[in-house]
Amino acid sequence: MTLVERYGLPPEEIERRSFEIIRGLVPDLSGTPEEQQVRVRMVHAAGDPTIARDVHIHPRAVEAGVEALRSGAPIVTDVRMIAVGVSPGHCERLGVRVECMLDHPDVAARARAEGTTRAIAAVRLWGPRLDGAVVAIGNAPTALLALLDLVDAGVCRPALVVGTPVGFVNAAESKEELRRRDAVPSITVAGWRGGSTLAVAALNALLRLATGIHGYLG
Reported as a single tens digit per residue, the pLDDT across 24-82 is: 888 878 889 999 999 999 999 999 999 999 999 999 999 999 999 999 999 999 999 99
Count how many domains the chain has.
1
Q: Which residues are within 8 A (CB) of 108 and not within 5 positions of it... i.e. 6 or more apart?
A: 118, 121
Cα 123 from Cα 83, distance rounded (Å)? 15
The reply to whether 217 falls in a domain is no
Is-catalytic flag, 44? yes
The reply to whether 106 falls in a domain is yes
The reply to whether 163 falls in a domain is yes
The reply to whether 142 falls in a domain is yes
The catalytic position among 44, 58, 90, 104 is 44
Rg over alpha carbons for the chain, rounded to the nearest Å, is 17
Q: CATH number of the domain that 45 lies in?
A: 3.40.50.10230
- List the strands of the sheet with 186-189, edge to edge: 55-57, 186-189, 160-163, 134-137, 75-77, 98-100
Range of the domain at 31: 3-210
What is the average per-residue pLDDT within 98-117?
A: 94
Phi/psi at 86 (nearest 5 deg)?
Answer: -75, 140
The reply to whether 215 falls in a domain is no
Q: Which residues are within 8 A (CB) of 161 and not within 5 positions of it... i.e. 6 or more apart?
A: 135, 136, 137, 144, 147, 178, 184, 185, 186, 187, 188
The reply to whether 121 falls in a domain is yes
The reply to whether 218 falls in a domain is no
The reply to whether 11 falls in a domain is yes
What is the average per-residue pLDDT within 147-151?
A: 98
Q: Is residue 118 within 8 Å of residue 102, measured between CB atoms?
A: yes
pTM more than 0.85: yes
How many other C-beta atoms are found inside a 10 Å radius of the C-beta of residue 206?
A: 29
